Every structure is written in C-alpha cells, then in structure tokens.
Amino acid sequence: MCGIVGYIGQDNAKELLLKGLEKLEYRGYDSAGIAVVNESGTSVSKAKGRISELRKVAEADDQDGTLGIGHTRWATHGVPNYENSHPHQSASKRFTLVHNGVIENYEELKNEYLSDITFISETDTEVIVQLVEHFSNEGLSTEDAFTKVISLLEGSYALGLIDNEDEDKIFVAKNKSPLLIGVGDDFNVIASDAIAMLQVTNQYKEIHDHEIVIVKRDDVVIKTLEGEVQERESYTAQIDAADAEKGVYDHYMLKEIHEQPAVMRRIIQEYQDENGNLKMDSSIIKDVAEADRIYVIAAGTSYHAGLVGKEFIEKWAGVPTEVHVASEFVYNMPLLSEKPLFIFISQSGETADSRAVLVETNKLGHKSLTITNVAGSTLSREADHTLLLHAGPEIAVASTKAYTAQIAVLSILSQIVAKEHKREADVDLLRELAKVTTAIEAIVDDAEVMEQIATDFLETTRNAFFIGRTIDYNVSLEGSLKLKEISYIQAEGFAGGELKHGTIALIEDGTPVIALATQENVNLSIRGNVKEVVARGANPCIISMNGLNKDGDTYVIPQVHELLTPLVSVVTLQLISYYAALHRDLDVDKPRNLAKSVTVE
C-alpha cells in the first residue's frame, strides 16, 4: 500500500528518494511523486503509473536540494491521477505533505476550518496540509500548527511535512500506519519500511502513535503531543540489502518460491535447542497452553495458513480453535470462551484489518500472539508475544514463502503445546519438517513440469476450479487465490463434496479442475468428485501424493506427513500460478489493484 520516504542531509535528495520509492514498489501503488526543497522553493514532480514514469518527469524537473519527501499512492480517496497523487501542497505552496492512511473526519475538518479554500484534489490528505497552513496563518509556528492538526485528526496516518521556509526539518507523525526514522551520519531519513532506505542506513528509530517528530540533518527530536521530549534508542534493521534484490531470478515471486527450502531450514534451526529439541519462549508456551480456545485472526493467504494451523492445534495440541477473517471478526465478534488466546498471523505485521481486531482484544484484556515476518511491526509490538517467520523480506505481492513459513511455525507451536499438555506425540516434527524441505526442493527442481501444467491447463482459460477435501481443501483455497491474484483467471477453491450442491453447474467442456489428493481418508472420495466433473466435460489436473497416487495423475508430490502436505502441495500451485501469469505476459510481482501491505481497513 502507500509508501513514504524522506531525506534530509548533505546529498542530492532526488536520486535517494527515487531509489527509495523503487524499493517500496512491491507494496503496490498506482501513482508516485517527490518534492524537493531548495532556495527557490519546493519543486514537486508527480506521475500516474510506475516509478519509471516519475523518474522521467523528475529528471526533466529542476530539483536540486538536500531535503525532500516522496510517496507511492494506492488510491483510496479519488482515482489515480496527477492531482490526487502525493505530495500535496497548501494553497500558498509553502507546505508540502505526504500521507499514508485514511483520515476519517476530513469532511468535518474541511467544513469547519477550510470553507474558503479551493481544493485541487479529491484526497483526504490535502485537508491536512491546508489545515497546517490555516493554523500557521493564525500565527502558530510550523511545529505548533502541525501538532495542532495532529490533535484534530481521526483515522490512520503516517505523515511527512516540509516547509519551504525551513530547509532544516521534516515534520513527522503517525497513527496506526507504519513509519520509521532512519538515522545516519549528518543525515536522517524517514521510511514506511526500512527496506526503502537500507541504501543509506540500517539504523532505525521507532515512532509511537501520536508522537511529533522533528527530523533534522543532525538530530531527531521525538515529542509527545504535550511537547514532552522522548528519548528513543535506534536499532539495527535485520535485513540484508541483498535479500531485497531479485538476484538471478526474473521475478521476486520465483525467487521467493525457490527460497522455501532455505526458509524451512532456518525455521528448523531457529526453533531448535542445542539438544535437538523444539524450543520457544516459555511465556508463550504458558499463555497458549492455558487458553481454553484459540482464535486465529488473519487475512488472505495468512488466513489460509491459519486454516491449516487449526488442524495442528486441534489434532496435536488438543485446543479448540477458530479461524476468522479479520475484517469480518472486527464487526461481528463471536461469543468468546472464558480464557481465549488470540493468534494474529500476518506476514507484514501491518494489516489494518488484523490490527483493528488486536486493538479490540487488547481493550478486552485478552492474551495475544503475533506470528509475523517483520520484527518490530505494529502487530508484533502491540501483541503480548511474537513468533517470527524468519522468511526474509517477501517482496512479491503474492505471498509464497510467508505462507509455508507460517504453517511451519504453527506446526512447531502446536507440537510444543501438545508436549505441555502431555499429549502423546505421534510425530517427530523436526524430522518431518526436514522431509518436507527435501520434498519442496524436489518440486522447485521440477519447475519446468509446473510450467507445462500451466500450459496444458491454464493457457487460454477464463476460469479454473481448485478442489480438495479436508486439509487439501484449505490448500485449494490458497491455490485459487494465488492463481486469481496474479493471472486474473477467475479461480475458486471448493470442498470436493460441495461441488454437487451448486458449483458443478459452472463446469463446461474444458473447464480446468485442479484436484489435490494427498489425504488417505478422502482419497477415494476426491477422486469420485473428479469423476463427477469429468463426466461434465472438465479438464482434470490431479496432484496427488506418493503412496496415494493412481495411474494418470498429473503430478505426484513426494510423501510427507499427512498433516504437513500443505507445505509441499502448495508449492506446485504457486509455480503453476506463476507460469500461468508469466505466459499471459502479466506483471507477476505487482498484480493490478493489489498492495503488499494492506494498511487501510
């Protein structure tokens, strides 16, 4: 979703801002812009579309200066066009602002304070910058005007403001939306994701909601709204700049699919003690083991990982578990048990829908655990506990390695809680995860087979169905999401047995039906469902597991523990989706309309 960068230092800001925005491209956006301050004022360049378009515009503009802010916009208020792109300026052009998030009371603020202003854009953001000018015209200093505006805003925001009468400061604040301050020698930066500014620093300071931060070349001053100065240590961002590069791969998605065996090995290593036993912080084990019911809250792919996690938690740890879509749960909370524990699964740790639930459960005083890829992310900071995925940065919008990492971490948590509950272990998990790692390796080595499957089944189709039963059904939901989000093929995942209750009406001659058959107890029934669709003309692609396979199956995955099959079967679906999108000449890493980190509700 929207991204922010800013630089104040000794070097030319323009190139640093453009490079920073390029690093944020993965979050999803539809327009971008930068503003640079120098003695002749603030020069703004904006463009609809990719950063490459902005680069062309910016190169033509005179933008030398050592202070600037930049933004990638994912449209919420108003279509993606020049006027609605950030940065936005106040009427006199003295103040320039970038904003991520959504201001809920912008109409009210506009009516109350800005009725005489002609607005150029349809955005909520323009109201903020006009308000700063309004209070500045009333005689407040820029810092005081900014602070006053912050005290009036309702909603989510990360803000970077510059004043062309003060070349020495960027004014910064946030609420709910992510924003970090990067610190350097004689320069400082702001960024919604450390990845953006790793080019110049790996030292970052967190900002808390409702703080006012004045970023200067040689100082960062953090204050409360009441003006009390806050001391804040910086930390080292644990991201290797090379992890955020594509390397030898054509796309981040392909790279991230290929990284899955390495991620599995890292997880095995991180959650294992020197005696080869599973390990985890004892306070996490205690809180999870004491819960009478677990509520898993997530969105999209992370929700699908949660569905698989439920199987482990119930079957191994014996704790009743519900899995909920965050955006529904927040408006329609079910009856909670007496001692619930909430598990938030989120690759980014920033998903606004999940955070909205965490805010509510924190108010209710319930224990929470975030499973995330991003240490220090909002969901991680605001929950009682965090388990890290150790998957390395996931840049492609379509999540792949985070899904398998989430499932692996959930399997480890479940086994540890099973032990705490003195439930007999029927699985040597570390050994089984090692087998899974080898199986994933075999599948990525077979990438050309997946490409052929994409050609045979998906080359020209407008729709496709994924079916499975029990845990395979959960994976079919993820497979269909992967395919639809990057190839734009209308794809749906169904429980095999549900087809004949309606959906089978959609099957026509040649409709691709991708069926997963990795579970012994439903092997015959899913194959029965395949026969039903074949009788109506479907083109079946059967992905089965060694030991359960039958003649004519399209692809057979290596045998792994039955409950861990999602970790392996999903890799076939990730690769098939990747090639289906590639063959349609689509932008695999940045599918249309989507954002990597969905920071608005």
Q: Is 596 a catalytic residue?
A: yes
Q: How far is the CB of 104 from ligand F6R (least distance, A)?
A: 21
Query: What is the smallest separation between the CB atom of 291 and ligand F6R, expressed in angstroms?
Result: 22
List Cβ neighbours of 228 (8 Å cut-off, separation of 6 or more): none
| Residue 218: HSE in the Cβ half-sphere, 13 Å Cα cutoff | 1
- What is the rounded radius of gyration, in angstroms, for the C-alpha atoms of the chain? 25
H/E stretch holding 223: strand 220-223
Q: For residues 252 and 596, what is the distance between their CA atoms, to the nearest angstrom?
A: 13
Which CB, 391 or 398, lies closer to ligand F6R?
398
Report the nearest approach of ligand F6R to the CB of residue 310 (Å): 17
Q: What angle do CA 484, 488, 490 make, to 5 degrees?
A: 60
Minimum Å gap between C-beta 346 and ligand F6R is 3
Nearer to ligand F6R by C-beta: 156 or 347? 347
Q: What residues form DSSP beta bridges with 47?
A: 32
Q: Helices (H) and strands (E) in the chain — how many of each?
A: 19, 25
- Tell me whether residue 260 or residue 354 sits nearer to ligand F6R (CB atom): 354
Q: Report the b/e string of 427-463 with b at 16+ CB within 10 A.
A: bebeebbebbbebbbebbebbeebbebbeebbeebeb
Give the residues lining the site for ligand F6R (CB under 6 A). Answer: 299-302, 346-348, 351, 354, 398-399, 481, 485, 597-598
Q: How far is the CB of 597 from ligand F6R (least distance, A)?
A: 6
- Which residue's CB is nearer to ligand F6R, number 301 or number 386? 301
Distances from the Cα of 435 to the Cαs of 10, 337, 408, in angstroms? 53, 37, 12
Q: Find the shortest distance in angstroms from Cβ 409 to ligand F6R.
A: 13
* CA–centroid distance for 553 within its chain: 35
DSSP state letter for 314: I
Q: Which of 2, 23, 174, 176 is catalytic?
A: 2
* Token pair listed for 158: 């990360």
The 88-89 sheet, strands edge to edge: 88-89, 95-100, 157-163, 166-175, 212-215, 220-223, 229-230
Choosing from 23, 310, 590, 596, which is the catalytic residue?
A: 596
What distance, in Å, lies between the first and last C-alpha atoms of the chain?
11
What is the nearest approach in angstroms of ligand F6R to the Cβ of residue 399? 3
In 3-state terms, what secondary structure has residue 539? strand
Kindly tell me which of 256 and 311 has the beta carbon lying closer to ligand F6R: 256
| Residue 488: how many other CB atoms lie within 10 Å | 16
Least separation in angstroms between residue 351's CB and ligand F6R is 3
Residue nearest to ligand F6R (CB): 300
Q: Which is nearer to ligand F6R, 129 or 391 (CB)?
A: 391
Residue 516: which of 474, 472, 477 has the closest Cα? 472
CB nearer to ligand F6R: give 189 or 253.
253
Q: In whole angstroms, how close is the CB of 1 to ligand F6R at the nearest point?
A: 10
Nearer of residues 69 and 299 to ligand F6R, judged by Cβ? 299
Of 123 and 302, the one with the shorter C-beta distance to ligand F6R is 302
Tokens of 358: 């965490």
CB distance 515 to 499 below 8 Å: no
Chain CA centroid to CA 564, Å: 24
Distances in whole angstroms, Cα of residue 105 to Cα of each of 89, 331, 595: 19, 20, 24
Q: Which of 154, 116, 194, 92 is nearest to 597 (CA)?
A: 194
Which residues have C-beta within 8 Å of that of residue 290, sequence separation ≥ 6?
A: 339, 341
- Taken in order 434, 436, 442, 443, the sign of the CA dihedral is negative
Query: Is the Cβ of residue 157 or residue 303 nearer to ligand F6R in the bound state?
Result: 303
Separation CA 482–CA 488 (nearest Å): 10
Smallest distance, ligand F6R to C-beta of residue 481, A: 6
Contact present, 205 and 234 (Cβ < 8 Å): yes
Q: Which is nearer to ligand F6R, 348 or 474 (CB)?
A: 348
541 is catalytic: no
With beta carbons less than 8 A apart as the criterion, state whether 600 and 407 touch: no
CB of 514 to ligand F6R, least distance (A): 17
Catalytic residues: 2, 596
